[in-house]
Structure formats: structure tokens, C-alpha cells
Amino acid sequence: MKASSTAIRRGVSTVILTAMLFTSVAAAAPYTLFESGQVRPLALSPNGALLFAANTPDNRLEIFQVGSSGLVHRGSVPVGLEPVAVAARSNDEVWVVNHLSDSVSVVRIDGNGTGGAVVRTLLVGDEPRDIVFAGPGKRRAFITAAHRGQNAPFDPQLTTEGIGRADVWVFDSENLGGSLGGSPLTIIPLFSDTPRGLAVTPDGSRVYAAAFHSGNRSSVVHESLVPNGGEAAGGVPGPNTNVQGVPATEVSVLVRYNGQDWLDVLGRSWTAQMPFSLPDKDVFAISATANPPVQVAGPSGFYTGVGTILFNMAVNPVSGKVYVSNTEGRNDLRFEGPGTFAGSSLRGHTHESRITVLGAGSVTPRHLNKHIDYSVCCAPVPNAESEKSLAQPLGMAVTSNGATLYVAAFGSSKLGVYSTAALESDTFVPSTANQIQLTGGGPTGVVLDEARGRLYVLTRFDNSVSVVNTTTKQEVAHLPMYSPEPASIIEGRPFLYDARRSSSHGDSSCGSCHIFGDFDSLTWDLGNPDGEVKANLNPVVPVLPEFGPDGTFGQDTSFHPMKGPLATQSLRGMANQGPMHWRGDRTAADTAPSLQPNSGVYDEAAAFKEFNPAFMDLLGRSAQLTPEEMDKFTHFALQVMYPPNPIRNLDNSLTPRQQAGRDFFMETTSFFQGSCESCHRVDVNANPGEGPFKGFFGTDGKSSFDAEPLFPKVPHLRNMYQKVGMFGAGFPFGNSPADTFLGDQVRGIGFNSDGAIPTLFHFNSGFDFHPIFNAVGIPDSPEGFAAKKNMELYMLAFESNLAPIVGQQVTLTASNAVVAGPRIDLLKARADASECDLVAKGRVSGHDVGLLYLGSGQFKLDRQALPHVSDTAVRQGVAQHGGVLTYTCTPPGSGPRIGIDRDLDGVLDGDEGGTASSPVLFRTAR
């Protein structure tokens, strides 16, 4: 670990000098929060001598020596951005999955375990999450990734139905190939949404892969297909007025597929309006010994009904049964608030934390908190009931005799201990006696060391590793890892996830829906019949005067408390985007004036604090958070960032069709006398008088008339690519009353506020995502359809907070300069364009080294005494001295920290510890 006190010993002048250097290359914050969810953050070496940990915020692999007296930190190896999973292939080779870098770092560990270096970087699909070794000799590496990404050697076919959105990449670990990113044996497509966890049988013959947002077979009937007049007219289930007697807005209807029919909460069939089906394939079985590995054929190749959000898996080494940690979203229930109306039962019962047991042809969910009485609400926390609860189960470990299962309860700061027999038979009794308290919050990964009677647990809230005695069931040590996260992130994170603090039953939190700060791919009816109608004071996008002074077209803009089904929105990227929620009903509009940035309606901090009542009305807490607590939560939440768009080219260019779509979006004028961009603002300067403000990604925070019952805030468009996979929903306009039946679909929730629209441009029905297409007179012809498709392709590649190059990597060795050179040139070019900071980390002449790209072909070394070195000299030095360097494009402003000064104390990494020998690493071409 680095000691920041060295800066004081070295003198203030060093700090000032280094700060002057950084000023020219860093125009943004040194830390960017992505809130990536850890999947397999811990691994033991096969001989049990070393423990490896993913230090997610610091982009490193930490190495601990394991001994009878406990853990001792021995070394730290820089890897890719946001490492979330670790697997030890041997005692001296560890593979690390880098979620944001779309890569896998192959790390060679030093013989003494005090360090190591990345010797190869594999490039895989978007947002990889997990890794296991299986197959013959367990030499095959299986890696989960989304079916997209710039490194994928295929067209993701985002606009084509019937395409799975999940992949498992398979590499031969002993023959990675000579291509830039490695040559996979195969890429196995799975008919599910983005994948996450993996598990392997003890003999390595079978691998199990799980969808992440697997869904629960729920969807929505589009509002236009629902009769008006409420339940009595065959429409929206009642109640259909609020406590004031004001009729609710006509909205869509939540339905669930039972394998044959689509039914609503009243049991009424809507099958005629839903021309597709949801097979709900959740967990897939893969033959790891086949050449190449393939999904097992037939019904035994997948499991259904496992859960809504699937986190991790573990295999019982004796019985072969698979345990899947998951949560089941209860969006079949309706309404938040006190619940005086019949059917108001969602308060305090949003999710159930479960372990689902998979056997030979069987799927058996087990509710971990069956002691909860959901009819009673809402006791102050903590209480006797809540303290028995385990929330959001993640990592698991099974003893070698198959008798005991350990579960990391992320939302409870505990480990659950279960008899596998009692779990499978559902005879277990929830009790604190079978739970292990941890001093650090947010446990994610757990590794069992049976030889020493120990469990090692990574606690994400404080970025530490806990050591637990399995005999006494007590934590005996807690070792912090270095974290660059500022205090505002560390202090605010628990308010998103900590169910013991958030809910009266101790089983749910904001993070139950906003999975790792994102969404859950579900639609919920969170209206409140007991609520009152509120005025909407948000600003409206101006239109022609003949349509009225405010552009509402006479539409009711008020906030009715019964808002109907709405899809969960992400907590990412809320800064600079104005009011929150689909309607913008979380708003500070009454604090006029409203000017960008950050005043009135554009005060995102004030808007986010309007969510405080949800702790009572939705999670069932007895009181809201205190102002001080909500302030900490707000400061944390507004820092969560969207990742780079994985569809856009790495050089930030657009394809000809994407560019044609963007030209239409920016320039084509409708009868509103404005383009699409007039409402959906795209990173443009603020209006005159509002200052030099930028950062719009589809919205500037205003509301706008739209062809839907709710008067909406103009939404941002950064995450359209995440919502692909539902095709076939019907509409009563276009070419036919409904689409041809399109069969099985990956998702039940698509686009728009309620998730009812299947695609951005729906060719089969002639329906367009936005009526402005028809307003500008694009004909229903092949040319017209092509123009609309171009628009769709652009929206899938929409601008985001960070350029596509951020996170991307390449490893340069003494022998691969020809292959790696063009990729390094690309990273340099994007850094020169100010889209990223470029760093290089690795070893040359046996020395650990870090470099920061300064532009104009020059690098700064992590030794203060050494002069700048040219790009040519760096490459030649690697070739001539047997070096290895991994280049990474980091978020703007983070390069100095990640590249040359880990703790930003002004003493560069190579000078730390008082051993700055200033080795000559790059002799040539200086």
C-alpha cells in the first residue's frame, strides 16, 4: 500500500510541481464512478498459498499471502478498468475480467507472490462479468459478455428478432492465438438478456451460465389497446380514481405470461393483444468437453422460472445440484403508499431474496426470508424481524462434503449459513444464529479455505477483505484495500443497498430495483391511490404559438398519483439532466428561477431528494432518511456515470447509415419548426445567457407533448442499446391491427416510459417510436423505411458521457509490435482528441513502470527525476528489454492517478517508499 505521508516528507515543492504537470492533462475529476457489480471478486491459488482479490475501484488485482495466522498483503498488479471477476488458472497465472474495459487480463504472478504483470490482454464482448475454467484439463476459459461491443467479431443484429443477447466466450488457455485480442475457440450465443454468473461441475465437464436480467415473464399491453373507462369497461384494473375522486389517466396494463396466455392482476386474458411469447430461459447448461463447447441440446439445455435477477451460482460437489442466488421482483403487486385501497400491497414487499435449487429437470425456489409477515408494516429499524433477513444474495461457497452453503448477503452485511439439505427441503428456519456479522458492508464474493477453517469475504462498501472463522462463525480479521474513491462515494453507497437501514423488513433497498445503480428491466405500477393530484410546474419545450402558449396541446400536465405502469429508470448519468422520473415528477420546479445548470427545475440534487418519501411509501421504512443521510445519498447517486456506448465505433465515428440517421435527427424540421434535437438536446451549449454549459444526451430537462397519456419529461437516449430484445407487440394502427405472431422473445419490456414499444422503429406494424417521423412527411416506401431505420441505428449508437474508446486496452510485448501497434496508435489518437487519458502499466528491464501520455507523442514516467520519453522510445524499450506494457484509455482526468501517482500525493509511484533508483528503462531513441 502507498503511504500518502510520503508527500510531506518529500516536500511541498514536489506537490506543486506535480500539480502543474497534471493541470495540462486533466480537465475532469480523478475518479469516475461506474458502480460495476462484482461477480467473482476473490480466488484462491490451487495450492491455497495466495488469495487474489479484484480491487474494482483501483483497477488492480491484489495479492494476499495465506497463512495460519491470517492474510498478509503482498502485492498489487494494475489490470483493466472495473475488474469484477478473478479466476486462478494455476499458482502463478490469474485471469481478471475487466467490466468496463471489455477485456480479460492474464496476469503472471511472481514466484514470491509479491507482485506480477499482465502478460496478455484478451478482448471480448461488451461488459464481461464472470470467468471459470472447465473442459479437458480445465484449460478452457469461459467468459460471459453481452452480445455486442466493438471487440466482438460479429454483427450484434440489434434490430433483428430471435437473436439472443447473451454470449459465452471460450478460449483455450494454452493456445490464445496471435491476433490482437486473442482467438476464441467459440462464442456460444444464449437466448437470454445480458449474462452474468457462471458455475462449473467439479469434473469440469459442464458449465452453467445464467442470464442477469432474466425477467419474470411480465410485459405490458400498450395503452392504445386498453379500453378507456377503467375496470368496469374492461380497461385498467381498479381503483380508477384517487382519494380525491379524480379519474386516473388511461394507461397500459401489466400482464404476465403463464406459458400459454397473458393475464393481468385480475386474471383477465390479453393474449389477443400480445402476439409474442416469453420462454424465460434463465440458466443454460453448456457441454465444456465438446469440440467446440456448445449448449446442451434439448430441454436439458436450459432452466426456466429461476428468478428475476440472477446474481451468482454454485455447484454442490456431491449432489451436482446448482444453487442460484437471485431476487424475485414482485411487480405483480401494485401501488406504493399506506395502501388503504384494496390491492395496495406493494409497500414493503417489492422483492424476495432467494436461492433457487436446480436439479435434474427441477427448479425449486427457496425464499430466504420466509419469516417475514408482509401484512404488517412498518416497524422502526432495526427490529427482530428485519435482523433475521438476508437481502440480495450474491456470492456463494459450498463445503467439499456438500453439506453447507455459505451466502454473501450484499444488502445485509452478513453471511448466511445453510444446511443444503434443509435448504433443498425448505425446512430451514431463518435465524441470526445461522448468520455471520461482518464489519464491512456489502459482501459480494466469498471463498472457502477448508484447510484453515476460514472464509474470505470481499466487502464492497469499504473495499476490504474479511476473514471468518468457520468454527466460531465470527469475523477474525478485516483488511482494507487501497481505494481512490472520495468520501462522498464511500459514505453515500450504503443508502442505495443497505436493506437493514432502508426497509422495515430488512429485505429490500433502492438497489433491489436499481441493480448496481442501473435498472432491472421490469415495469412497475407504483401509483398511490391515496395520493393527491399535484401541479406540474416544469418548463415545456416551446412550439408554434398556434398550438398554445406552453406547448401542451391542451393536454393535462398535472401529476396524478396513479401514474400506471412505468419501467424502472437507471440511476446513471442523472447529473445535468433536470427533473427525474419519466414524468419529471421528482422536481424542484417550485424553487424558481429555473436556469441551467443547477437552479430551480434543473437542480438535480434537490430533485433527487424528492425520492426520500419512497423509503416509507415503497420500502416500508417507518421514517424518511434524515436530511443529512439523504444529502449523502444524493452526493453519491449524482456521481454514477453511464459507460461508453458499445455500438459506436472506437474512433467515435459513425457508420454511413448512423450518420444519415444523425443528420436527420439534428437537421430535419417537422411542423413543430424544429428537429428531433430541438427536444432531445445533444451535448450542445446552453441557450444564450445560461452560460457555457454542456452535457445533454437527449434531454435538457424540459417536458414536451408526446403521443402518450402521461405528459412526459423529454427522456435521455443513452441506453437504448440495453433495451433490445422484445419484438412483436401489437398496435391498432399502421399496416395491420397487430403484428404477425413472432414467437419467443428475449425480453418482455422494451422502449418508452412503460416499456410497451418493442423497437425504436417497428417495421412490421408501420409504427414509429415517435410520431415526428410521420410529421415530417417521410413516405411509407422503401426509401422512407430506410430513412427511419437509419434513425434507429443512430439512436442505438447515441452519444454518451464518455467516448467509446474509454476503457479500451492493448498489451504490447517484445514480440507483438506489428499486431499491437495500430491499436496503440488508435488509443493515442483518441487521447490527442481529448476523449481519454492514455496510460501504460507493466514491466521493462524487470522494473514495474507506469507512464502517462502527455500528447504530441510524449510520455511522462512515474519517476520524477526522469525526463519525458517518446512513444517510439517506449515501444523500442519494450522490444529490446523483454518488456510488457498494457495501454489503457482512462476517463479524462484519471490518467495521472491510474498511470503514475496512484494516491495523488505528489510522489510518483516509482519514487514511493524511498527507493527511487531512477532506472534507465528506455535507452533508445530518446
Containing 422, the helix (H) or strand (E) segment is helix 420-425
pLDDT tens digits, 587-639: 987 767 788 778 888 999 999 999 999 999 999 999 999 999 999 999 999 99
Give the confidence band of 553 by pLDDT, cuts at 50, 70, 90.
low
Cell of residue 71, nine digits: 492474510
Give the confidence band of 477 by pLDDT, cuts at 50, 70, 90.
very high
pLDDT tens digits, 304-332: 999 999 999 999 999 999 999 999 999 99
More confident residue, 217 or 768: 217
- Judged against a pLDDT cut of 90, whether residue 51 lies above it is answered with yes
Winning range, highest mean pLDDT, from 24-38, 286-300, 540-554 = 286-300
Among 800, 752, 521, which Cα is nearest to 646's? 800
- Please provide the average confidence, as pLDDT, over all residues in the chain: 89
Question: CB under 8 Å to 914, separation ≥6 — which residues?
Answer: 6
Cell of residue 6, nine digits: 510520503
Among 277, 64, 166, which Cα is nearest to 745's? 277
- Judged against a pLDDT cut of 50, whether residue 12 lies above it is answered with no
Q: Rounded to an integer, what distance in angstroms lies between the CA atom of residue 415 and that of residue 406?
A: 7
What pLDDT was estimated at residue 676? 85
Average pLDDT over residues 84-109: 98
Average pLDDT over residues 477-497: 98
- Judged against a pLDDT cut of 50, whether residue 736 lies above it is answered with no
Q: Of 63-67, 337-341, 533-537, which range is least confident?
A: 337-341
Cell of residue 840, nine digits: 501504460
Residue pair 859/885 in contact (Cβ under 8 Å)? The answer is no
pLDDT tens digits, 56-67: 999 999 999 999
Give the confidence band of 4 by pLDDT, cuts at 50, 70, 90.
very low
The length of the chain is 926
Q: pLDDT above 90 covers what percent of the chain? A: 77
- Judged against a pLDDT cut of 80, whether residue 11 lies above it is answered with no
Rounded to whole angstroms, what are the CA distances from 397 to 88, 313, 325, 393, 804?
16, 9, 11, 12, 37
The answer, yes or no, to whether the previous bond of 867 is cis (omega within 30 of 0) is: no
Residue pair 129/39 in contact (Cβ under 8 Å)? The answer is yes
Q: Rounded to an integer, what distance in angstroms lies between the CA atom of residue 744 and that of residue 165?
A: 13
More confident residue, 549 or 904: 904
Give the confidence band of 342 by pLDDT, cuts at 50, 70, 90.
very low
More confident residue, 705 or 115: 115
> What pTM value is reported for the model?
0.94
pLDDT tens digits, 229-258: 999 999 999 999 999 999 999 999 999 999
For the chain, the maximum distance between any two Cα atoms, rounded to a whole number of angstroms, is: 84
Q: Rounded to an integer, what distance in angstroms lies between the CA atom of residue 316 and that of residue 562?
A: 46
Q: pLDDT above 70 covers what percent of the chain? A: 88
What pLDDT was estimated at residue 709? 74
Write down the residue that cell numbers 405502469 correspond to: 565
What pLDDT was estimated at residue 763? 41
Residue pair 391/348 in contact (Cβ under 8 Å)? The answer is no
Q: Rounded to an integer, what distance in angstroms lies between the CA atom of residue 406 and that of residue 395?
A: 8
- Judged against a pLDDT cut of 90, whether residue 924 lies above it is answered with no
Average pLDDT over residues 125-145: 98
What pLDDT was estimated at residue 611? 96
- Judged against a pLDDT cut of 80, whether residue 646 lies above it is answered with yes
Among 157, 258, 165, which Cα is nearest to 521's? 165
Q: Rounded to an integer, what distance in angstroms lies between the CA atom of residue 798 and that of residue 15?
A: 40
Please give the backbone phi and psi of residue 8, each rounded to the nearest 5 degrees, phi first: -65, -45
Q: Rounded to an integer, what distance in angstroms lies between the CA atom of residue 742 and that of residue 735?
A: 16
Average pLDDT over residues 423-427: 98
More confident residue, 789 or 914: 789
- Judged against a pLDDT cut of 50, whether residue 703 lies above it is answered with yes
Average pLDDT over residues 755-780: 58
More confident residue, 686 or 301: 301
Give the confidence band of 916 by pLDDT, cuts at 50, 70, 90.
very low
To the nearest 10°, the Cα dihedral for 742, 745, 748, 752? -70
Name beta bridge partners: 108: 93, 117
pLDDT tens digits, 263-290: 999 999 999 999 999 999 999 999 999 9
Q: Rounded to an integer, what distance in angstroms lies between the CA atom of residue 618 and that of residue 526?
A: 8
- Judged against a pLDDT cut of 80, whether residue 27 lies above it is answered with no
